[in-house]
Amino acid sequence: MDERGAPAKKVMRELREASEDDLHFRDGRIFGSMCTDPLPIARRAHAMFLEANLGNPGYYKGTWRLERETLRILSKLLHGRNLGGFTVSGATEGNITALWMARNTTRRKEVVAAKTAHFSVRKAVDLLGMRLVEVPHDDMYRADVDAIGRKVGKDTAAVVAVAGTTELGQVDPIDEIGELCRDRAFLHVDAAFGGFVLPFLDHPDTPPWDFRVAGVSSLVLDAHKMGMATIPASHLLVREASHFRKIAVESPYLTSVYQTSLLGTRNSAGVAAAYAAMRALGRSGYRQIVARCMRNTRTIVRRAREAGIEPVVEPIMNVVAFRVHDVESTQRALDAKGWKVSTSRNPRALRVVVMPHITAKSALAFAHDLVAVSQKG
């Protein structure tokens, strides 16, 4: 920092230069991210609430009201009644908080999760001094229910299941896992991606995965992914709000007597952005967005199949991984053409996420190049 401040024009030029070095969703070239271009109304809502801090809610009663209303909307969407919860920065914070609550409520330290669970679960058990018990997945890359049944025991605090795995978009058999967990352990559902996709699919083939499953204790979903809100905006919901008492700490200099969130200062602009997106779109709006993403996903899969490139599993939602001869060289070749894709580790495959910023034209162009570079390899 210099002694004297720089002219605003100079600072803005530096910011523009930095922004020009970033990739942008509007270009329609990013197939490796689970985030997307937020709705315009979500952007405006975010800007309106930049100074709000729900870590000190008494000063921000309007923002707090928006958070309560957002959670009410989500509770209804996820078939819950009288759910507790609050907005978090992302599913990582939500997963950590849910396992913190499970540990303190049960006084146990084991967490059972499949190898396909998000890496934030490993972060959580490390931070919380817990033990991770990993179980295998089935041939569809979903958590193996029988393996979970063998591992859940007297030391199990929680089981983590996923509704929309990061690598393949698969949904664990949460209804069956819920039966195993009832009266035995907390069941936390990581629906970071699937939470704003599964309720809006035209023909959902997945069994119940939300609070319809009696064994589900908590669930996290990200509005800054398919929810079309700004980053960060995620939501943790719990069946029994009283369990938050187990992680409450006194906050004497704030306007709340106790604080139950992991973060002290809480981003609140994301609350307004999520509220704005949900109110502006409604269920029909989300159905249209999901349907468009699924059409584009099917376009890519169909064109790839015509060239002999098969997906690892038939995509349930707008995430698909392809078996290609050389994953890394295919990724590099696509990158050279301006396409940004990622790879999966389990199994090794080319991972493609077809978000709302991908148009039908982009999907066709990407599929064409995917086939071209794969045939060269």
| pLDDT for the residue numbered 256 | 85
Q: Across residues 84-111, what is the average pLDDT? A: 97
- Write down the pLDDT at residue 63: 97
Percent of the chain's residues with pLDDT above 90: 91
Return the minimum-mean-pLDDT range out of 209-213, 238-242, 258-262, 361-365.
Answer: 258-262
Average pLDDT on 80-101 reads 96
Give tens-digit pLDDT for 127-138. Answer: 999 999 999 999
pLDDT score of 204 more than 80:
no
52 pLDDT higher than 90:
yes
Of the pLDDT bands very low, low, confident and very high (cuts 50, 70, 90), residue 176 is very high
| CATH 3.90.1150.10 is held by the domain 8-38+284-376 | yes
pLDDT for the residue 303: 97
pLDDT tens digits along 295-349: 999 999 999 999 999 999 999 999 999 999 999 999 999 999 999 999 999 999 9
pLDDT for 377 beyond 70: no
User: What's residue 299's pLDDT?
Assistant: 98
Q: Is the pLDDT of residue 86 over 80?
A: yes
Confidence of residue 252 (pLDDT cuts 50, 70, 90): confident
* CATH code of the domain made up of 40-278: 3.40.640.10
Same fold, 8-38+284-376 and 40-278: no
On the question of pLDDT at 99 being above 90, the answer is yes
Residue-level pLDDT at 253: 78
pLDDT of 69 strictly over 90: yes
How much is the pLDDT for 296? 98
The domains of the chain are located at 8-38+284-376, 40-278
Confidence band for 190, pLDDT divided at 50, 70 and 90: very high
Label each residue of the chain as H, E or C. CCCCCCCHHHHHHHHHHHHHHCCCHHHCCECCCCCCCCCHHHHHHHHHCCCCECCCHHHCHHHHHHHHHHHHHHHHHCCCCCCEEEEECCHHHHHHHHHHHHHHHHCCCEEEEECCCCCHHHHHHHHHCCEEEEECECCCCCECHHHHHHHCCCCEEEEEEEECCCCCCCECCHHHHHHHHCCCCEEEEECCCHHHCHHHCCCCCCCCCCCCCCCCCEEEEECCCCCCCCCCCEEEEECCHHHHHHHCEECCCCCCCEECCCCCCCECHHHHHHHHHHHHHHHHHHHHHHHHHHHHHHHHHHHHHHCCCCECCCCCCCEEEECCCCHHHHHHHHHHCCCECEEEECCEEEEEECCCCCCHHHHHHHHHHHHHHHHHC
